[in-house]
Amino acid sequence: MLSRLAESLFWIGRYIERADDTSRIVDSYVHRIVEDPFNNEDATCRSLYAILGVPQPEHELLRNEMLQTIVYDEKSPNSIAGALDGAFENARRSRDFISSEMWVALNTTRNELRSRQRVAAGLGPATYLAYVRERCALLAGLTDATLSHDDGWQFLLLGRNLERIDMTTRLLRGRIAYMDASPDWMAFLRASGAMEAFMRSSHQLNDPNGVATFLMLNRTFPRSVLYALNVVDAALREVQSSNQLFDSGDAARETLAHARSTLEYVDEEELLTQLPALLEMLERTCYRINDAVTDKYFRHEEAILWISENQL
């Protein structure tokens, strides 16, 4: 398929997932600020910035500014509105490929968000964030149901799961780094959408090791890092075989294989102590896979503005 199209679908997957995950995280953090009277608002907001990779401001950081930056700012790819805008722009460029239902859903979401933002200014972000999660679920469902599961869909799946790994990794790093400033483990699980699944597994609540193990290593929960890595691997394999590029190696799959085996052979008892190193490794893995896939499949030019020249 067209490189430019593949890249657009990849980013639609990433951006929608980003919006979804960010809204969960912000929701739990905002709850913490509101529910806990002893909470240090500035520290909590800063920990959130750290997770999402937003530069820390010099001045005191309060809730409203944090929400504007991370939720409502349409121009920033780190914010929820910005991520959905990015998905929309990419959908526009791949309109010949995505289904009309997806297009309509994205279009409607974008328009709705703007009016909901005005409401949220007065009533707080909870319903805005809930709407985001609902729409992301709808979009994910539409992509899975209305796109043929061929190359295009594989790239979208790739993007979605790569972003998921990235976000889960960031979340865990934030939890460790800002232990006091971040929500407790229960809220943390909720933020990851993992609460009920965790409870049904054999792990105990308030067992940090158990939570970390669940989120990193569980083989059946779709938001776990290992699960997502397997999905990414399967997608890469599909794409490679259908595109039959006769490369000697596949940088993305190699990086991924290394990450997978590292995780598979981790001693669960030791997980917490090894966590910082593992998370760093995972973050690097995500960058590498992104670059390798871009390099291999998305090589295309932006429209060139030619310079003309004349000589005697």
Count interface residues toward another protein (CB under 8 A): 33
Report, in Å, the least distance between residue 151 CB and another protein.
Answer: 7
- Report the candidate in 164, 174, 152, 42 with the shortest Cα–Cα distance to residue 93: 152
Please identify, using beta-carbon distances, which residue of 48 and 158 lies nearer to another protein. Answer: 158
Coil, helix or strand at residue 259: helix
- Tell me the C-alpha distance between 52 and 171, whole Å: 8
Please identify, using beta-carbon distances, which residue of 125 and 152 lies nearer to another protein. Answer: 152
Where are the alpha helices (H) located in 147-184, listed in sequence order?
151-177
Given 111, 204, 243, 273, the residue binding another protein (CB under 8 A): 243
Report, in Å, the least distance between residue 242 CB and another protein.
Answer: 8
Confirm or reject binding of residue 306 to another protein (CB under 8 A). yes
Given 34, 104, 123, 145, the residue binding another protein (CB under 8 A): 104
**CA 146-15-305 angle, 5° bins:** 100
- Tell me the C-alpha distance between 277 and 273, whole Å: 9
Stretch that binds another protein, among 35-43, 67-75, 175-183, 238-246 (CB under 8 A): 238-246
Given 241, 244, 249, 269, the residue binding another protein (CB under 8 A): 244
**CA 55-165-163 angle, 5° bins:** 65
Confirm or reject binding of residue 267 to another protein (CB under 8 A). no
Report, in Å, the least distance between residue 224 CB and another protein.
Answer: 29
- Tell me the C-alpha distance between 208 and 213, whole Å: 8
Confirm or reject binding of residue 311 to another protein (CB under 8 A). yes
Please identify, using beta-carbon distances, which residue of 220 and 311 lies nearer to another protein. Answer: 311
Please identify, using beta-carbon distances, which residue of 1 and 140 lies nearer to another protein. Answer: 1
Give the contact letters, 148-167, x = binds to another protein (CB under 8 A), - = no: ---x----------------
Q: What is the dihedral of CA 64, 67, 72, 73, to 10 degrees?
A: 90
* Amino acid symbol at 59: H
Given 53, 241, 248, 312, the residue binding another protein (CB under 8 A): 312
Q: Angle 225-243/208-217 helices, nearest 10 degrees?
A: 10
Report, in Å, the least distance between residue 298 CB and another protein.
Answer: 8
- Tell me the C-alpha distance between 173 and 178, whole Å: 8
Confirm or reject binding of residue 265 to another protein (CB under 8 A). no
- Report the candidate in 224, 231, 217, 221 with the shortest Cα–Cα distance to residue 263: 217
Write out the H or E segment, with its range, that includes residue 52: helix 41-52
Question: How many CB atoms sit inside 10 A of residue 3's CB?
Answer: 14
Give the contact letters, 80-99, x = binds to another protein (CB under 8 A), - = no: ------------xx-xx---
- Which residues lie near another protein (CB under 8 A)? 1-4, 6, 92-93, 95-96, 100, 103-104, 151, 239, 243-245, 297-312
